[in-house]
Structure 1
Amino acid sequence: MNDRQQTAVALNTAPYAALLLRLALGAMYLAHGLTKLLVFTLPGTAGFFESVGFPGWMAYPVTAFELLGGVALILGIFPRWVAALAAVQLFAAASVHFANGWSFSNPNGGWEYPVFLAVAAAALALLGDGAYALKRSR
C-alpha cells in the first residue's frame, strides 16, 4: 500500500474510530454519573468533594454533566464540545488522585485512569464528531 492509499484508508476509517471512542467515553460518563446519583447519592458525592478540597455544591453540576454529557456523546450531540469539556473535568478529577501515585490499584486509586480518560476525551475533541453524530459540532 502506498502513502496515498494509506491516507485514503485513514480518512475513510477515522470517523468510525471517533465513533468507537465517543461511544466508549459516553458509556463511561453515563455509568459514573449514575453511580454518583444512585449509589453514592448526591449528598454523599458532595461530602466526598468537600473531603478532597472541592466545594460540595460542585457535585450537582458534575453529576449532571456526566449524565447529560454521557448521553450527548452516545447520541453524537455536539460531541467535540462535550469531549473538550470532559477532558478538562477529567484532568480536575485526576488532581484528586495525584497524591495516591500512578496506578489505579493503589489505595484510593491512582491518577492513571482519569488521565487516560482525559487524553481520550482530548483525542475525540481533536478527531471530530465521528460517524453517525446526530448534531455535529461547529
Structure 2
Amino acid sequence: MTDLRTAPYAAFVLRLALGILFLAHAGLKIFVFTPSGTAGFFGSLGLPGWLAYVTILWELLGAAALILGVWPRIAALVLIPILLGAIFTVHAPAGFFFTNANGGWEFPALWIVGLVVLVLTGDGAYALKPTPAGIDKR
C-alpha cells in the first residue's frame, strides 16, 4: 500500500535526482565536450549536428522543470525521447551493461524507468506549478 504521507516527498526526491542528472549531462555536453564537439559527435553518428544544440537545450529546460517542479510530469514525459535516442544511437550496440566499452544501455533504461515512475506518481512535494488539470486525476 502506498503511504500517502510520504509519497509526495519520494516523488520530490526522484524529481530532484532526475533533474540533477539531466543538468549534469547537459553540463558535460557544454563544458567538457563543448557544443561544437557534441555536434561533431552527433554528425559521426549520422545525425544532423544541429540536433546536438536542440538536445542540450532540451536537457537544460527539462532539468530546470524537474528541479523546480514546473509541470514535472510533462517534463519527465518529454525527456524520454532523449534517452531513447541515446540508447538506439550510442548505447545499444555496446550491449546491456553500462561498464562495457562505449557504455551499454543499462543506465539510460533505468533513467527512463525513473521518468515513467515520476509521470505515474505525480509532481511530488514543493512543485512550483503542478501538472495541468485533466492529467493529474487522483
Whether TM exceeds 0.5 here: the answer is yes
Q: Does 1:130 align with 2:124?
A: yes
Query: Counterpart of 2:99?
Result: 105
How much does 1:38 deviate? 1.2
Counterparts of 1:87 and 1:123 in 2: how far apart (Å)?
12
Q: Which amino acid aligns with 1:53?
A: G
1:16 aligns with 2:27: no
1:84 aligns with 2:77: yes
User: Runs ≥4 in structure 1, deviation > 6 angstroms?
Assistant: none
Give the C-alpha shift of residue 88 in structure 1: 2.2
Secondary structure in structure 2 of the residue aligned to 1:12: coil
Secondary structure at the counterpart of residue 6 of structure 2:
helix
What displacement does 1:81 show?
0.6
The separation in 2 between residues aligned to 1:129 and 1:54, in whole angstroms, is 33
The farther-off stretch of 85-94 and 28-37 is 85-94
C-alpha distance in structure 1 between counterparts of 2:118 and 2:69, whole Å: 12
8 Å CA contact retained: 1:88, 1:118: no
- CA deviation after TM superposition for structure 1 residue 130, in Å: 0.6
Q: How far apart in 1 are the matches of 2:115 and 2:47?
A: 22
2:115 paired with 1:121:
yes
C-alpha separation in 2, matches of 1:94 and 1:122: 16
How far apart are the structure 2 equivalents of 1:124 and 1:88? 15
Point out the structure with max Rg over C-alpha.
1
Identity over aligned pairs, percent: 53
State yes or no: 1:39 paired with 2:51: no
Question: Superposition RMSD on alpha carbons, in Å?
Answer: 1.1
In the alignment, what sits opposite 1:69?
A: 62
Structure richer in helix, relative to its length: 1
Residue by residue over 1:22-46, the C-alpha shift from the partner in whole angstroms, topping out at 9 and shown as x without a partner, is 0000000011111111111111001
Which residue number corresponds to residue 136 of structure 2? none
* Counterpart residue number, 1:59: 52
Consecutive unaligned residues of structure 2, counting only runs of 5 or more, are 133-138
Unaligned residue ranges in structure 1 (runs of 5+): 1-5
Normalised by the length of structure 1, the TM-score is 0.90
Number of equivalences: 131
TM superposition shift of 1:53: 2.6
